Amino acid sequence: MNAVLKLLHHIQVHFNFRVLAGDIGFNVHTVFLNCINELGTDEQIAKWVPLAQNYNIIGTYAQTELGHGTYLRGLETTATFDMSTQEFLINTPKISAMKWWPGDLGRSATHALVLAQLYIKGKNYGMHPFLVQIRSLHDHSPLPGITVGDIGPKMGFAHVDNGYLFLRNIRIPLQNMLSRYSQVLPDGRYVKRGSEKINYFSMILVRVNMIGEVVVGTLTKACMIAIRYSVVRRQSEFKPGAAEAKILDYQTQQGKLLPQLATVYAFHFLCPYLLDYYNLVHHEIKSGNFKSLPELHALTAGMKALVTEYSTAGVEVCRRACGGHGYSMLSGLPSLYSYVLAACTYEGENTVLYLQTARYLVKCLAMGQSGQSLPQSVAYLTSALSRRCQARDKSDFLKTEIYLDAFEHRACRLIRGAASKVQALVHSGLEQYEAWNSTSVELLEASMAHCQYIIVKVFVDTVEKLNSDPGIHISLKRLCHLFALHWIRTNAGSFLHNEYISGNQLDMVTEIYLDLLLLLRKEAVVLVDAFDYTDEQLNSALGSYDGQVYQRLFEWAQKAPENHQVNSAYEKHMKPLFHSALSKL
Ligand SMILES: CCCCCCC/C=C/C(=O)SCCNC(=O)CCNC(=O)[C@H](O)C(C)(C)COP(=O)(O)OP(=O)(O)OC[C@H]1O[C@@H](n2cnc3c(N)ncnc32)[C@H](O)[C@@H]1OP(=O)(O)O
Ligand SMILES: Cc1cc2nc3c(=O)[nH]c(=O)nc-3n(C[C@H](O)[C@H](O)[C@H](O)COP(=O)(O)OP(=O)(O)OC[C@H]3O[C@@H](n4cnc5c(N)ncnc54)[C@H](O)[C@@H]3O)c2cc1C
């Protein structure tokens, strides 16, 4: 029954996110709750999860400090085991150790999962999660030894109270360290089960969830707004003497928006793939099998980086495609942009995560080259590379095997190239870390290429497996083709390298890409409406279903507070100036 309730709760939270456009507060309270579910013992889950689920307590995930967000081994908050009292002392030793950024911390949270370096008898055992009450449940005041507040204005996320937390030797019971995989025994012995990095595990679920619940939905809404607006907005003479054209009839507008629409579908299909794999590995880990954890980390780290980066760029393309009205807050697009932009930084800064994936790819390549079998998502690393793209005619680029081979070849080439450069630099006398840093730009590009190959492959596989209506199927295939060919065109240099794709073949790609734009132009509105966000969820004067853009812009503008306030600047400064001109006019 518990599994069913959990599933129902997840579905309810998912639809709350969807209905409230993801702008609900307490996102990090969910992170707090999930972390207890993943790293807590059954007893800790039984005690804390119902309280959190019923909002009898509000939690935050307090990991980042003023001085460290990325480098977790550098976190300075300490948790020192006091065997005489069977407690941990949680302490902020210096200002750079102050927790800074945790969401829901500034004004809401009563409890925090504080990620701190565990010390037992002077030895550091690394970062562990400690459950610390920070505010009174009676009057919400900070508890003794706690200094907590809001970090102030940010570029977006105004609806989240990101906060700071200073802890002065706060005592918590031994039972408050989440101990499913690592435990401190009353006599001070430390017991670890599974991976060294298991306490990093909860970040994986956040990365998977944020892609599905925050990032893809944001790009979807931006596409819906911009495409609906582009069939309402008429501008300029298309045919001399005829009526002004709908801006979506311009090939350039199609070239801006339809690849974003295809990207929405690609990322939409990626989400279940990632969640299914996460659930599979999480199930294995709970039974003590940690073998797939590195692959899961590498996959989700790279995907979080790539999906947030392309979604952020895509929302901005949609915003700019709406001209001046895209700059109005009433369009809803600037808010979508500042909302999704943060996702490139939180839950792992993108560059750092791409390099985590690169680290795994280089390791797997070495394993493959030494004859070891490779995990499924990287098995292609040891495949024989075809020398040339086999396309003979533009229609060949509508064959998924043709462009999949291009993505596989490119990823392989870039990973092998970066790995051998690191090796060569080491052989030339550089230390491993120097060689790695001197290759990290290429390693990042290799990591991106790997992620792009996986995403295109998941899109192709998903469409092939879908037994949908033939009309829907052809539309999804066209979107898949457009998505892949858009990425080939916008990354052309790395496909043209060593003549894998010739210049002539690239021209074929462009030709078939433009054909697809024309075909998908006819279906664009239906394809974007399919995501079925209501006007309330879109919250956009440009994207409402009835297309009454100008009426809505004017109506909403009239409601702006600026139009209902006394114009103090006039009374104080402008009026005397204007009146002095009266006698002269
Ligand atoms: C639903 C949406 C809600 C959204 C709300 C979210 C609000 C935001 C919350 C936050 O931002 S919480 C804070 C997030 N912070 C981070 O993500 C920190 C990112 N930094 C790191 O993960 C690590 O510091 C690092 C980048 C991995 C570097 O750490 P370290 O120096 O220790 O690593 P390496 O020496 O490179 O060794 C890596 C080693 O560890 C394995 N590993 C790394 N991360 C994980 C992980 N998450 N899970 C499992 N394993 C991990 C990695 O595979 C390497 O293993 P080996 O190669 O050594 O075998
Ligand atoms: C809106 C928002 C919400 C957040 N919510 C939370 C939360 O709830 N809980 C929480 O704990 N944290 C939260 N954070 C903090 C967030 O997790 C960190 O900001 C993030 O992990 C990046 O770390 P940093 O700020 O130290 O950046 P840095 O790592 O200092 O990044 C600065 C630059 O250094 C580069 N860099 C750093 N390390 C390396 C490396 N090894 N190799 C190459 N380049 C490197 C980065 O690529 C980047 O260009 C939030 C942040 C934001 C913006």
* pLDDT digits (tens), the chain, 585 positions: 566 776 666 667 666 666 665 566 789 999 999 999 999 999 999 999 999 999 999 999 999 999 999 999 999 999 999 999 999 999 999 999 999 999 999 999 999 999 999 999 999 999 999 999 999 999 999 999 999 999 999 999 888 999 999 999 999 999 999 999 999 999 999 999 988 889 999 999 999 999 988 999 999 999 999 999 999 999 999 899 999 999 999 999 999 999 999 999 999 999 999 999 999 999 999 999 999 999 999 999 999 999 999 999 999 999 999 999 999 999 999 999 999 999 999 999 999 999 999 999 999 999 999 999 999 899 999 988 878 999 999 999 999 999 999 999 999 999 999 999 999 999 999 999 999 999 999 999 999 999 999 999 999 999 999 988 999 999 999 999 999 999 999 999 999 998 899 999 999 999 999 999 999 999 999 999 999 999 999 999 999 999 999 999 999 999 999 999 988 899 899 999 999 999 888
In a domain, 245, yes or no: yes
Pick from 388, 409, 369, 373: nearest CA to 491: 409
CATH of the domain at 173: 2.40.110.10
Look at residue 54 in the predicted model and tell me its pLDDT. 96
In a domain, 556, yes or no: no
Of 349, 436, 441, which is best to mutate to test ligand 2, by the most ligand atoms within 8 angstroms of its C-beta? 349
Do 78 and 117 form a contact (C-beta atoms < 8 A)? yes
In a domain, 572, yes or no: no
Please tell me the distance between residue 349's alpha carbon and the centre of ligand 2 in angstroms: 5
Query: What are φ and ψ of residue 61, in 5° steps?
Result: -110, 100
Give bridge partners of residue 61 from the DSSP assignment: 113
Residues 143 and 253 in one domain: no
Token readout for 547 is: 């297309």
Residues 121 and 259 in one domain: no
Please tell me the distance between residue 316's alpha carbon and the centre of ligand 2 in angstroms: 22
Please tell me the distance between residue 142's alpha carbon and the centre of ligand 1 in angstroms: 30
Here the ipTM equals 0.98
Q: Specify the ligand 2 atom closest to the Cα of 157.
A: 1
Protein residue closest via CA to atom 9 of ligand 1: 347
DSSP H or E segment with residue 303: helix 293-320
- 3-state SS assignment for residue 106: coil
In a domain, 191, yes or no: no
Given 511, 529, 547, which residue is the final one in a domain?
529
Residues 140 and 223 in one domain: no
Give bridge partners of residue 184 from the DSSP assignment: 190
In a domain, 194, yes or no: no
In a domain, 117, yes or no: yes
Of 356, 363, 440, 443, which is best to mutate to test ligand 1, by the most ligand atoms within 8 angstroms of its C-beta? 356
Look at residue 19 in the predicted model and tell me its pLDDT. 61
Look at residue 584 in the predicted model and tell me its pLDDT. 86
DSSP H or E segment with residue 123: strand 123-133
* Residue 64 assigned to a binding site: yes
Q: Specify the ligand 2 atom closest to the Cα of 99.
A: 11
d(Cα 445, Cα 410) in Å, to the nearest integer?
10
Please tell me the distance between residue 61's alpha carbon and the centre of ligand 1 in angstroms: 14
Among the bound ligands, the one closest to the CA of 105: 2
Of 151, 200, 206, 436, which is best to mutate to test ligand 1, by the most ligand atoms within 8 angstroms of its C-beta? 200
Tell me whether residue 536 is one of the annotated catalytic residues: no
121-139 as b/e: b if 16+ CB within 10 A: eeeebbbbbbbbbbbeeee
Q: How many domains does the chain have?
A: 2
Residues 99 and 225 in one domain: no
Residues 225 and 112 in one domain: no
In a domain, 227, yes or no: yes
Look at residue 241 in the predicted model and tell me its pLDDT. 93
Residues 284 and 408 in one domain: yes
- HEC string for 445-489: HHHHHHHHHHHHHHHHHHHHHCCCCHHHHHHHHHHHHHHHHHHHH
Given 501, 529, 557, which residue is the final one in a domain?
529
Among the bound ligands, the one closest to the CA of 34: 1
Pocket of ligand 1 (CB under 6 A): 27-28, 31, 61, 63-64, 69-73, 103, 197, 200-201, 203-204, 206, 209-210, 213-214, 293-294, 297, 346-348, 352, 356, 359
Among the bound ligands, the one closest to the CA of 96: 2
Protein residue closest via CA to atom 35 of ligand 1: 73
d(Cα 208, Cα 213) in Å, to the nearest integer?
9
Please tell me the distance between residue 348's alpha carbon and the centre of ligand 1 in angstroms: 7
Residues 231 and 167 in one domain: no
d(Cα 436, Cα 543) in Å, to the nearest integer?
47
Range of the structural domain that residue 232 is part of: 202-374+398-529
- Sign for the CA dihedral angle at 157, 270, 510, 466 comes to negative
Pocket of ligand 2 (CB under 6 A): 28, 61-64, 68-70, 101-103, 157, 162, 342, 345-346, 348-349, 351-352, 355
Do 314 and 261 form a contact (C-beta atoms < 8 A)? no
In a domain, 189, yes or no: no
Residues 247 and 140 in one domain: no
Residues 176 and 206 in one domain: no
Question: Residue 115, Cβ neighbours under 10 Å: how many?
Answer: 24
Residues 158 and 251 in one domain: no
Please tell me the distance between residue 439's alpha carbon and the centre of ligand 2 in angstroms: 22
DSSP H or E segment with residue 10: helix 2-19
Given 529, 548, 568, which residue is the final one in a domain?
529
Residues 127 and 219 in one domain: no
Question: What are the residues whose beta carbons fall under 8 Å from the beta carbon of 361, sequence distance 6 or more?
Answer: 298, 378, 381, 415, 419, 446, 447, 450
Token readout for 167 is: 């802890």
Look at residue 194 in the predicted model and tell me its pLDDT. 85
Among the bound ligands, the one closest to the CA of 127: 1
| CB-facing half-sphere around the CA of 166: CA atoms within 13 A | 10
184: alpha, beta or left? (left if phi > 0; alpha if psi -120 to 50): beta
Look at residue 387 in the predicted model and tell me its pLDDT. 82
CATH of the domain at 470: 1.20.140.10
Residues 317 and 442 in one domain: yes
Token readout for 187 is: 């006599």
Catalytic annotation, pick one of 65, 76, 87, 347: 347
d(Cα 491, Cα 487) in Å, to the nearest integer?
6
